[in-house]
Amino acid sequence: MSNGGWSVFAATVAAEFSDVDDVEHFARVSVRLLMAGALGFALGFERETHGKAAGARTHMLVAMGSALFVLAPQLSGTSIADMSRVVQGLVAGVGFLCAGAILKNGNGDQPVKGLTTAAGMWMTAAIGMACGLGRETTAVIATVLALVVLALVPHFSRGLNGMMGRPADGDTPRQKTAAGDED
């Protein structure tokens, strides 16, 4: 390759990496993706500490992937109508991923497993989208509320069951689902 060929090659490679053209743009992309990863970690770590299959890494990847799916088109100047289609596709795709986390063992009265994990991944995708769209405060609030639901609602449900005279331990599969203990 001649000197002129290498110059063209170098210019082409430089142009391929020109989507982040200044420090402000770099900071914006970095903050949004890092925030999505951190919030995904928080939700995934909570699931991981409870022995669930979809832990920190899975939730981080779902959050950062969701952020990137909306961040790249937004920064490319995609119209609101086209962004709506991106979001619709993302929600459907994550729903398909979450369906893989839901298991039904056997027939009859066997409990369904994985509903809370699937709902958590769906919530993580929404939080990632919020980060990608530059709504980090909304994403932090949603993460805190999701962590509250995961941490407190099972205890609250058990307390209510106890007040209503239902056994706290040995719940039926339906009651376990209502208490959030199904997965």
Pairwise CA distance, residues 61 & 44, whole Å: 10
Q: How confident is the model at residue 179 (pLDDT cuts 50, 70, 90)?
A: very low
Pairwise CA distance, residues 170 & 166, whole Å: 10
Of 99 and 59, which is predicted with more confidence? 59
Q: For 131-176, how does the pLDDT look when each residue is reduced to its tens digit (9 = 90+)?
A: 999 999 999 999 999 999 999 987 777 777 777 877 655 444 444 4
Mean pLDDT of 46-73: 94
Confidence (pLDDT) at 114: 85
Q: Where are the domains of the chain?
A: 22-179
Model-level pTM?
Answer: 0.80
Q: Which long-range contacts (CB under 8 A, 24 or more apart) does 22-31 make?
A: 25/75, 28/134, 29/71, 29/75, 31/136
Q: Which residues pair with 112 in a beta bridge?
A: 104
Confidence (pLDDT) at 178: 44
Mean pLDDT of 66-82: 93
Q: H-helix or E-strand containing 66?
A: helix 56-75
Amino acid at the residue 182: E
